[in-house]
Amino acid sequence: MADGARGAEPVGVKLVFLGRLADLAGAGEAEIAGPLDWPGLLAALPGPLAEAAATERVKLAFNGRVLPDKRALAAREGDEIALLPPVSGG
């Protein structure tokens, strides 16, 4: 890539908010600086969103895979974390 200006930009950790969490976040996506662990993620989220994320009902996907234990989160710049509230399909 010859795009030097873009290449020089720091790439953060991408956060994706699904369902009602997007309303709490005020947007479907956000980017924050890495590296990021579970306490770091909670600290980076605004209060109501952090409270929701901390409940057992909210799951975490890391680069497209659901984490069995979200406290094991270890994200670096360029990674994608999705916050998944209870689903309702059909």
Partner 1 sequence: MIDVRLLARGFSPGRALARFAAAHPEAGGIASFTGQVRADEGVEALELTHYAPLTLPGMEALAGEAMARWPLSGILLHHRIGLLAPGAPIVLVAAAARHRRDAFEAADFAMDHLKSEAWFWKRERRADGWHWIEPRAEDHQDRARWAR
Footprint of partner 1 on this chain (CB under 8 A)? 16, 18-20, 23, 61, 63-64, 66, 80, 82, 84-90
Min separation Cβ 36 and partner 1, Å: 18
Distance (Å, whole) CA 22 – CA 82: 11
Which tokens hold the place of 73? 């989160």
Per-residue DSSP letter, 86? -
Cβ distance to partner 1 smaller for residue 20 or 76:
20
Min separation Cβ 40 and partner 1, Å: 22
CA distances from 76 to 10, 36, 60, 81 (A): 12, 6, 15, 10
Cβ distance to partner 1 smaller for residue 3 or 53:
53
